[in-house]
Structure 1
Amino acid sequence: MRRSITAVLLGTLVSLHAAQAQADTAGQVTIYRDGFGVPHVQGETSDAVMFGAGYAIAHDRLAAMELARHNTQGRRAELLGASAIDADKVMRSRKLTDETLIRRYRALAPEHRKMIQAMVDGINKRIDDVNADPGRLTPLEFIRWGIKPTRWSLTEYLALITAAPLGRDTYEIRNLEFLKDMTDRYGREKAWQIFNDVVPISDPDSPTIIPAGEDLAPARPIPAPVLSPAQLPPGGVTSAAAQAAPLGPVQGASRCMVIAPRKSASGKVLMLEATADGPEIHLHGGGFDNAGFGSNGWGVPTMGRGAQHGWLMVSGKSEAGTVFAEELNPRNRYEYRHKGEWKKMERRTETITVKGGAPVTHEVAWTIHGPVIAWNIENGTAYSQQMGVHGRELDTWVAFAEMGRAKSLAEFREKGVDRLGWNLGACYGGEDGTIAYFEGGALPKKAAGVDPRLPTPGTGEYEWTGFLTPQEKPHTINPAQGYIFAWNSKATSWSQEGDNARIGAVYRTWLGDRLAGAGTSLSLLDMRDFNGRMFNALGAVDRTQTAPDFFAPYIRNAITASGDSEVARAGEYMLSFNGLYQDRDADQKYDNPGLTLYRAWLEIAPRMLFGDDIGDWWKKIDADRYLTYQTSLLLRAFQGDAAGAPLAVDYFNGRDRTAVMIDTIKATIAEVKARFPGKDMAEWKHPVFWKYFDAALETPDRPQMAEDAPERRLSAVLRLGPTMAPHNGGESWVGLMEIGRDHRALYSVVDAGGQNLFIDPNGKGNPHLTDQTMMHETNELKKISLAPDEIRRTAVSSVTFEYRPQTR
C-alpha cells in the first residue's frame, strides 16, 4: 500500500528534526594555551565547553585526578599501601552508593546532566589519547603506582564532586569526651562551667564577616547552653571519639577581601582571594565567559572572574550537620530506636585492596540520619552524622557553573548561591559597583532543647524542623564599612560556634580587617601588598598566631610591676613584634627576637594557666580542628570581667593576673634562653620556617611549621624544580581582580608549581611544571585575560575537537 504524501512529508520532517537535534548537541571546541599553560576553552555549546574542560584538566593533572578518584572511592590503599587503610575506611563509610549517585544525577536539569557527562567524556578522550601513546603520554605517577590510566565512569566522577563535605562537623563527640572528663573530675556543676568557658556556643568578641546591624537576614536566637540529660551517657566515650576522628585538619584556608568602589583608586570593585591548590581554566561559550580556580577534576571554576562580575568562595562555618547518638537494641547492635520502634540499619561490607598487603574488610552502616561514624557498644550507642547537604550533593557543582555564568547579581544569587548544597560563603563584586556576601548551603533548623555542641539523641524527639530559606541565611549587600573580609569566619553575631569552629577576639582576620578598614584609594598593587602581609602573619598555616597588641595592656602591667629588667626587656621585645614573620635582611632568621619570645609565650602561658585545672584540654580540644581557639581563651582569661564572655572559673586560683603574667614571661625567657646558649636576648632570632617540596630534605636547623607537612612533589623528588623554599606563610592559590568593563582579567598564581603537573615516563617534566613556584613565594602574579582577541593573539598553542555526545 502506497504511503500518503502527508505521511511521507511528516516522516521527512521528523527525520530533519532528529538530524537537527543531533546537530544541536554537537559542537566544536578549541583549547588555547597561554604562556603559563592556562587553558582557554572556547565552544559552541555548554556541553562542548565542558568536554574541552575535561580534556584540558586531564591533560594537565591526570595523576592528581587519579589520586582524587581513589580517595573519593575509599581506594587510596591500592596505591599507597597500609598507611591509607584508615582513611579508606572513613570514605567507604560515608560515600554514596552508585545507585544513589545516579538518582541524584537524574534529578538534575537536562543541560546540567549533559555538561557533567561531557566533562567525563573529555576526561576519557584524554585517557584514550594517553593509552594510544603510553610511552610518551603516561604520567610517571601511574608507572610508580603500577597501574595504567583507565577511563572514568559517570558514577566515579559523581563521587568525586560529592565527596568534599563528607568529613565536616564531627566534633560533638570530642566535646562530649571533654565534658565527661571534667564531670568525672569535678562533678556536674563545675564541669559545665569549664565546658562553657573552653567551648562557648558563641563568643561575642568574635569578629564577623557581616558588620553588626547590616545582616539582611532576621537574627536567630543562639541556643542557651543547657544540657539535655539524654546527651550525657553514663559510660565512657573515649573509644568512640577515637573512631570518629577526621582524616586530618580540614583545609578550609579560603579567604576573600572585597573593596567597594569608594575605597578604591579607580572607583571600581577590587577583589582578592587566597585558597587551596587547584588548576585554572577559562571557559567561553554556551553561556560561559569566566576564568578562575577549580579543584582537580571539577572543570568549572569555583571562583574567579565572570562576564560582569567577580566571585570568591570561602568555607562556611555555620552548623550544617548534626551527630546523632543512636540508642542500640541490646539484642542487636544493628537496630536502633527511632520514634518508639527498632529500625534496622542499612549495612554493607566493603573490601579494601591494599598494595603490598592482604585485603581488609570494612563494615558500613547507615541510620535514618546518615552514616555511622563511631560505635560505643559498651554503652549501647552508635553515632551517626546527618548533613544538610544529604540529597543535594550534586547541587554545588551546578551552583559553581551558574555563579560563573551569571549575568546579574540576581542570577548569581538565585541560580548559584541559593543552589549550593555545601555550606560555603560567597563574596561578590559587580561591574556596577555592588559588593555582597551570602552564606550558602543547606543549613538545618535544629530542634530546641538540645545543646548543639554535643551529640543529639537520635530517638526521634530532636529531629531537624526544616532548613533556612535564602532570606533567612546571613547576607549583606553594600555594607557601610566599604569592604567585606571573610576567612572561614563567623558570618554574624548570631552564628553559632563551639562545634566545628570557635573564633574569638584574636581570630586570624585581625590583619585583613585592619588593612581593609584603614585603606583608601586602594589599587591592585596595594591589594597584592595586603596579600603578602597576610601571608606573613601565618593565619593560613598556624591559627594560634595573632598580633601581640591584643595582650599589650597585660604585658605592660607586667613590665611595670616586675622590677625585673629581664622580664621588662622580654616584654618590650614581644610588644615590638608586629605579628608578621619577616626576614628582610635574608639571613634566614626572622628579624625580631620578640617573635621568638611571643611565639613561645603563646604555648607556655596557657599551659601554666590552664594545665592544673583541665590538663592539656586547652589544646587537646582543638586537635584535628582546622581552626583553634586556645589564644582567644588565653585572652579572655587575662581580660577577666572585660571579656565579652567572662570565664566562669578562676583559672588563676586566686592569684593576681599581673603576677601570673610575670611568671609566664619568666618561664618563656627560661625556655627560649636554653635554645640560644651564651647569646644576648637581641640575638634570640627564630630561624625561618621552610616549605619542603621533598620530605627527605627536612632538617632540624631548617624547621617546618607544625601544621604544614612536606608536599612530597614528584618534581622535587626528581629534582625537576625547587625542592624547598623559605615559607611565606601563604595559601596555595591567589587571585586578584579589578571589576571593570575595561579590565576583564584575573591576576593569579598557583602554588602547586604550575598549571601542568605532567612528568613523562622517562622522568622529563614540561615547561609549566614549576614555572610559578618561586612566583608564589615572592607574591608575584600572572595575568589571565578574558578578551578573545588577546587570547588568540597571545596563545602559545591551540587544539580543536568536534564533540558529539554518544547516544545513551
Structure 2
Amino acid sequence: MKRLAKILGILAAVIAVVAVINIAANSQWWAQQESIAAPETEYDVVIHRDSWGVPHILGETDADASFGLAYAHAEDDFATIQELIATARGRAGELTGAPGAGQDYVWHLFDVSADVEARYETDISPEARAVIEAYADGLNLYASEHPEELRLRGLFPVSGQDIATGFAFTSPFFFGIDRTLGALVASEDPPRAGERANERGSNAFAVAPSRNPDGATMLVVNSHQPWTGPVAWYEAHMTSNEGLDVMGGLFPGAPVPLIGHNRTIGWANTVNRPDLIDVYELTLNEDGDAYRFDGEWLPLESRRIWLHVRMGPLVLPVPETVYRSVHGPVIVNDNGAFAIRYGGIGEIRQVEQYYRLTRATNFEEWQEVMRMQAIPATNFIYADAEGHIARFYNARFPNRAEGYDWRGVLPGDTSDTLWTENAPFEQIPFLIDPEAGYIFDANSTPWIATAAEDNLDPADYSALLGIETNETNRMMRIVELMTDIGPIDWPALREIKYDMGYSQQSAAGSYLRQIAGLNFEPGEMSDAQQLLAEWDWNLDGEGRADALAAAILRSVMMAAYRGDPLPDPQLTFAGAVHFLRDNHGRIDPPLSEVLRLRRGDTDVAITGGPDALRAVYWGEPQDGVFVGNAGDSYIMEITWNSEGAVSARSVHQFGAATTRPDSRHYADQVPMFAAMEMKPTWFDADDLEANIVCTYRPGETAETADGTPCPR
C-alpha cells in the first residue's frame, strides 16, 4: 500500500507540474513576454484623426494606406483583431473555449488554409497581395510595440495568407452554412433553404436624380450587424497618391472598406440567403472508409486533428477526425455520412474583389469587378455620380442539373448531382436604373425592390438558382411608405429609413391577431390584451403599448426572419406581461424605461425594434431592461449633387475607439446615434483640414498641431 501511495503521489505531482506548465504556457502573461519583430518593409503613410477619432489615412501607395489602416484599427480594437487572426489560424478555441473550438473544427473541416497556401501566389494579383501583406505588417508593427496587449502566444507575426484565409473561411457563414453544419453535427435534417441563425440584416436605398428635387443621387448604407465582435463595423477613410480615395465601414481584419464610397461610386451591402448549400448523402461500405460514386468505391478521406480548447486557465487538446469526399467536407453522424458543397467553395479572392471595388470609377468598371464573383453572396446596392442606381442580387450560384430536389438531401453516389461550375453571370437578378428612380433592399426577395411596374419578373430566372422569396416587415413597410411617394429628398428618405412601424401584413400582424383571439378571464391578462389592441403598430416610444409590443416581438420577428416556427402566442404574451409587471410594476411602462443603449457610463433610451427599418435587437434582459446589442449600426448617407460632387454623413452606434473604454471616442457617438442624427465625414481634404485633431505616422507619437500629445 505504501508503494501504491508513493506512485500515486508521484503521479499527482507530475500532473500538477504539467498543469502548472500548461497554465503558464497558455496564459496572457506568457503571451506578453513574447518579443515580436517589427516588419522590415518601410511604409510611407500618415494618419489623421478627426474630432470624432475617425482615422483618415494618406499613403504614398495603396499598400502604404493599408498598412496605416491596420495600425489605426489596432489602436482602436486590437483585442477583436486578435480573435480574427486566431480564427484564421484555427486557434479560436485557445481564446474563447468551446465556441471557438467549434469554429476550429469547421476550419479544419473546410481546409481553407490549404486552398490559400496552394493558390495565394497565382490567384491573387500582385497589387492585391501588396495591399494584404501591408495590412498584415501594420498589425505586426502594432503587436511589436504593444506586447502588453497580446492575448495568445505565437499569434504574431501575421502573414498576408492569414488575412486571405480569414476572408475565405468566414464567407459561407454569411449565407447560412452555420445552420447546415449545426443540424448535421446534431444528427438532424439540414434546413431546406439558406437560412441564417443570427440578426445580420440590412437596409439600403438608392435614389436617382430623376426623383430628387435638386437632381442629386442619394445612397443610404445601413447594414445591421452585432454591435461588438468580429463583424462589428469600424469607420475609416483611405487615400493614396496612386488614386485610392475611399471612405466607409469595414470589419476587423479587412484591409479596405467593405461598404461606402469613393469620388464617383458608392455601394451598400445587405445579406441575402439564396440556396447556395447542397448536402449529399453518401453510401458507405461496411468499414465506413469508402463511398460509392458512379458505380465505384472511392476512399473517404480522413484526417486526425487536435482542437485546443481553453477550459479556465488550462488549454486541453481534444482529438477529432474530419472527412472529405469529391463533393467537399463530410460530416459523419448518427444517420450516416453527409457531404457539403457550397457556393464559392475553394474561392480565395474575396479581399481582391473588395479592393478592386474601391478602385472602380464608373458603372462599367464596377460591373466588371462584380463579374469576379469572388464574394459568394451578399446583395450590392449601387449609386454613382452619373446618376446610375442598381441592385445586384450577388451570389455564386451553382450550375445545377434538372431533375433533383436541390433544397433537400441529394444522392451522393452520382456525378449528375455534383456541380463543378457556376451559373452564368447574366442569369443573376440585376435591376438597373428602373424608371421609378429608386431602389431598396431589406433582406428580401429580389422581385420586390422598386415600384411594382419596374420590378424584375421571377419567371425570367431559373428555379434551380434557389433565389429567396421571403418578404420581411422592413420590405413591406418600404413598399407601404413609398407607394405614391412624390419627390424624394433627404428628409423624405430619412423618414422611411428611420421608420419604426410594423406592417399588419407581416409576421407581426398575424401573430398579434392570434394573441387578440385568446380567451382570458377578467384581470391582468385581459387588461394587457386590451392594451395591446390599442397599439399603434409603431415602436417610436410614444404609445402606451410600445413596451408590451416590443417584449412580444423580440423573439417573434427573429423567428420569422430565420424561417423558424413562431413561439406559442399565449406563452409569449404571458411572458411579456410578467416581465413588465415584475420589473417595472406595470404593463404599460414607457418604452424609454425598457429599451436602452448602454456603453460604458453612457445609458440612453433608444427606439425601434426587431425587423423594423429602425432596427434594434437585444438578448436576454439585463437588470430588468432590454439592452440593444445589434441592428442599425454604422449608417452612411451619400450624396452626389447635380454636378457630380460627393458628400456624406455617417454615424456609428458607439464611436471610433470600439474596445477602448478609456478613450473619449469609446461612446461619444451614442447620444447622436440614439437621436437618429449624423455627423459630417469630411471626405474632402479641404473640409478635413479644419477638423484634424492629431497627425502621426504608425509607430510615432500622435501629436496635435501644437505638438502636444493627441487626446484619445
TM bucket normalised to smaller: 0.7 to 0.9
Say whether 1:239 aligns with 2:187: yes
Q: 1:342-491 to 2 correspondence within 5 Å?
A: 342-355=297-310, 356-372=314-330, 374-377=331-334, 379=335, 381-394=336-349, 396-416=350-370, 418-460=372-414, 461-464=416-419, 466-491=421-446
Aligned residues of 2:547 and 2:588 also touching (Cα < 8 A): no
Match of 2:274 in 1: 318
Shift of 1:296: 0.8
Aligned residues of 1:421 and 1:441 also touching (Cα < 8 A): yes
Q: What amino acid sits opposite 1:510 in the alignment?
A: M
Shift of 1:248: 8.2
Output the CA distance in 1 between the equivalents of 2:191 and 2:303.
19
Where 1:283 maps in the other structure, the secondary structure is strand
Where 1:440 maps in the other structure, the secondary structure is coil
Shift of 1:771: 1.6
Q: What amino acid sits opposite 1:365 in the alignment?
A: Y
Output the CA distance in 2 between the equivalents of 1:406 and 1:782.
26
Where 2:434 maps in the other structure, the secondary structure is coil
Residue 783 and residue 547 in structure 1: after superposition, are their counterparts in 2 closer, same or farther (change >3 A)?
farther
Output the CA distance in 2 between the equivalents of 1:418 and 1:680.
58
Q: 1:330-345 to 2 correspondence within 5 Å?
A: 330-331=286-287, 333-345=288-300
Output the CA distance in 2 between the equivalents of 1:533 and 1:601.
16
Match of 2:25 in 1: none
Shift of 1:392: 2.0
Shift of 1:274: 1.9
Match of 1:531 in 2: 497
Residue 245 and residue 442 in structure 1: after superposition, are their counterparts in 2 closer, same or farther (change >3 A)?
closer
Match of 1:731 among 594, 609, 632: 632
Say whether 1:81 aligns with 2:36: no
Match of 1:627 in 2: 562
Aligned residues of 2:176 and 2:194 also touching (Cα < 8 A): no
Shift of 1:709: 3.7
* Structure 2 gap ranges (5+): 1-40, 226-231, 448-457, 604-608, 700-712
Residue 170 and residue 293 in structure 1: after superposition, are their counterparts in 2 closer, same or farther (change >3 A)?
closer
Shift of 1:268: 1.3
Shift of 1:349: 2.1
Q: 1:689-728 to 2 correspondence within 5 Å?
A: 689-691=595-597, 708-709=618-619, 727=628
Residue 279 and residue 691 in structure 1: after superposition, are their counterparts in 2 closer, same or farther (change >3 A)?
same
Residue 473 and residue 93 in structure 1: after superposition, are their counterparts in 2 closer, same or farther (change >3 A)?
same
Shift of 1:792: 3.2
Output the CA distance in 1 between the equivalents of 2:462 and 2:619.
30
Output the CA distance in 1 between the equivalents of 2:627 and 2:51.
26
1:690-714 per-residue CA deviation (whole Å, 9 max, x = no partner) reads 456689x9xxxxx9999734799xx
Output the CA distance in 2 between the equivalents of 1:371 and 1:364.
8
Where 2:166 maps in the other structure, the secondary structure is helix
1:432-490 per-residue CA deviation (whole Å, 9 max, x = no partner) reads 21111112232112222221221211112312263222211000111233321112222
Output the CA distance in 1 between the equivalents of 2:295 and 2:684.
63
Match of 2:664 among 738, 751, 767: 767
Output the CA distance in 1 between the equivalents of 2:462 and 2:69.
39
Q: What amino acid sits opposite 2:487 in the alignment?
A: S
Aligned residues of 2:343 and 2:397 also touching (Cα < 8 A): yes
Q: What amino acid sits opposite 2:384 in the alignment?
A: G
Match of 1:512 among 455, 467, 478: 478
Aligned residues of 1:398 and 1:419 also touching (Cα < 8 A): no
Shift of 1:743: 5.0
Aligned residues of 2:69 and 2:255 also touching (Cα < 8 A): yes
Say whether 1:792 aligns with 2:689: yes
Output the CA distance in 2 between the equivalents of 1:359 and 1:749.
44
Match of 2:18 in 1: none
Where 1:239 maps in the other structure, the secondary structure is coil
Residue 792 and residue 329 in structure 1: after superposition, are their counterparts in 2 closer, same or farther (change >3 A)?
farther
Q: 1:514-663 to 2 correspondence within 5 Å?
A: 514-534=480-500, 546=506, 574=532, 576-584=534-542, 591-593=543-545, 596=548, 600=552, 627-628=562-563, 630=565
1:555-599 per-residue CA deviation (whole Å, 9 max, x = no partner) reads 99x79x99x999999888656534322324xxxxxx233773697
Match of 2:674 in 1: 777
Output the CA distance in 2 between the equivalents of 1:154 and 1:175.
30
Residue 98 and residue 502 in structure 1: after superposition, are their counterparts in 2 closer, same or farther (change >3 A)?
closer
* Structure 1 gap ranges (5+): 1-24, 178-236, 585-590, 605-618, 635-663, 698-702, 713-721, 803-808
Q: What amino acid sits opposite 2:477 in the alignment?
A: L
Shift of 1:744: 2.4
Q: Percent identity?
A: 22
Match of 2:651 in 1: 749
Q: 1:53-92 to 2 correspondence within 5 Å?
A: 53-82=69-98, 84-92=100-108
Q: What amino acid sits opposite 1:452 in the alignment?
A: W
Aligned residues of 2:179 and 2:191 also touching (Cα < 8 A): no
Residue 418 and residue 481 in structure 1: after superposition, are their counterparts in 2 closer, same or farther (change >3 A)?
farther
User: Could you state the TM-score of these two structures normalised by the residue count of structure 1?
Assistant: 0.66
Q: What amino acid sits opposite 1:746 in the alignment?
A: A
Q: CA RMSD in A?
A: 4.7
Where 2:369 maps in the other structure, the secondary structure is helix
Residue 783 and residue 95 in structure 1: after superposition, are their counterparts in 2 closer, same or farther (change >3 A)?
farther
Shift of 1:684: 8.2
Shift of 1:408: 0.8
Q: What amino acid sits opposite 1:435 in the alignment?
A: I
Output the CA distance in 2 between the equivalents of 1:573 and 1:547.
20
| Structure index of larger Rg | 1
Match of 1:45 in 2: 61
1:533-559 per-residue CA deviation (whole Å, 9 max, x = no partner) reads 24x76x9xxxx9948667899999x79
Shift of 1:98: 4.0
Aligned residues of 2:115 and 2:346 also touching (Cα < 8 A): no
Where 1:249 maps in the other structure, the secondary structure is coil
Output the CA distance in 2 between the equivalents of 1:499 and 1:603.
30
Output the CA distance in 1 between the equivalents of 2:90 and 2:624.
30
Output the CA distance in 2 between the equivalents of 1:444 and 1:433.
33
Output the CA distance in 2 between the equivalents of 1:313 and 1:98.
29
Output the CA distance in 2 between the equivalents of 1:124 and 1:574.
56
Residue 387 and residue 603 in structure 1: after superposition, are their counterparts in 2 closer, same or farther (change >3 A)?
closer
Output the CA distance in 2 between the equivalents of 1:498 and 1:529.
38
Count of paired positions: 621
- Name the structure, 1 or 2, with higher relative contact order (CA <8 Å, separation 6+): 1
Shift of 1:730: 3.5
1:508-552 per-residue CA deviation (whole Å, 9 max, x = no partner) reads 322233334454333334433433324x76x9xxxx994866789
Aligned residues of 2:222 and 2:268 also touching (Cα < 8 A): no
Aligned residues of 2:616 and 2:628 also touching (Cα < 8 A): no
Match of 2:260 among 304, 309, 314: 304
Output the CA distance in 2 between the equivalents of 1:176 and 1:53.
38
Where 1:596 maps in the other structure, the secondary structure is helix
Shift of 1:64: 0.9
Say whether 1:159 aligns with 2:165: yes
Aligned residues of 1:501 and 1:627 also touching (Cα < 8 A): no
Q: 1:5-404 to 2 correspondence within 5 Å?
A: 28-82=44-98, 84-98=100-114, 100-130=116-146, 134=147, 138-139=148-149, 142=150, 145=151, 150-167=156-173, 168-170=175-177, 239-241=187-189, 249-275=197-223, 276=225, 277-285=232-240, 286-331=242-287, 333-355=288-310, 356-372=314-330, 374-377=331-334, 379=335, 381-394=336-349, 396-404=350-358
Residue 37 and residue 293 in structure 1: after superposition, are their counterparts in 2 closer, same or farther (change >3 A)?
same
